[in-house]
Amino acid sequence: MIEAALFDFDGTLVDTTELIYHSMRHAVREVMGLEPPREVLLANVGQPLPRQMELLVETVADGRPDRERLADRLLEVYVRDNIANHDALIREFPGVVEALSRLQDAGLKVAVVTSKSRASVEMALRAIPSLGGVTDRFVTMEDTAEHKPHPAPLLKGLELLGGVPPERAVYVGDSPHDVAAAHAARMRCIAVSWGAFSEDVLRDAGPEYLVPDVGSAADVILKLREARQAGTGRLA
């Protein structure tokens, strides 16, 4: 039966989309003097920040010989702006604490698997401390050598939860990278449409479920658990 629910952090449990966009836009404007479209700036959310900067430079400055230096500079300016505006722009999605508490009350183990650095997660938990009480473990960028869409972070989360088999876990995330990581780990994936990516983009990534709010994600997980307990392996 389903034993564990793993969740992405940015765009899934905490509303950081406007914070990320603000800092991305500021960094690209200051370092490169460019104003890329919003979808370009957010295209690689869900991957580690240094990798996002490398991919962004490849997109908007392809052919420039100083791409590595640009990526380093973008990262520096982004982090500075992000820290300065963090507490003013970060938001808690409605119903997150209640939804995760329902899962824990049903006996499920709950962990966060994110590409954020541990320092960034700790900063977010200081701004929204209630989230720390409804998760059992955190996997951050520093905990694995490989990152989403590679399955290593998700498998690390299952290891920290006591070695839960992938087929007994579900991953909830808001990006195509989350969907790809879940499938690479041989886990079911619930994509959530309240983050940085549109429903069309998420649907194209091929998640097993696509839901509009965190309460619906919890409903799916609990129904999956009930179906597995009943031996059907399907939603009722």
Q: Among all residues, which ones are annotated catalytic?
A: 8
Q: Quote the CA–CA distance of 94 and 86 in Å, as a whole number.
A: 19
Q: Quote the CA–CA distance of 43 and 220 in Å, as a whole number.
A: 27
Q: Quote the CA–CA distance of 192 and 51 in Å, as a whole number.
A: 23
Q: Quote the CA–CA distance of 170 and 106 in Å, as a whole number.
A: 15
Q: Quote the CA–CA distance of 83 and 123 in Å, as a whole number.
A: 9
166: preceding bond cis by omega (within 30 degrees): no
* Single-letter amino acid code for the residue at 235: L
Tokens of residue 176, six digits: 């195509």
Q: Quote the CA–CA distance of 80 and 45 in Å, as a whole number.
A: 18
Q: Quote the CA–CA distance of 165 and 155 in Å, as a whole number.
A: 9
Tell me how far CA of residue 68 lies from CA of 33, 80, 81, 230, in angstroms.
Answer: 17, 19, 20, 54
Grouping H, G, I as helix, E, B as strand and the rest as coil, residue 91 is: strand
Find where tokens 């990006």 sit: 175
Indicate the DSSP class of residue 12.
T
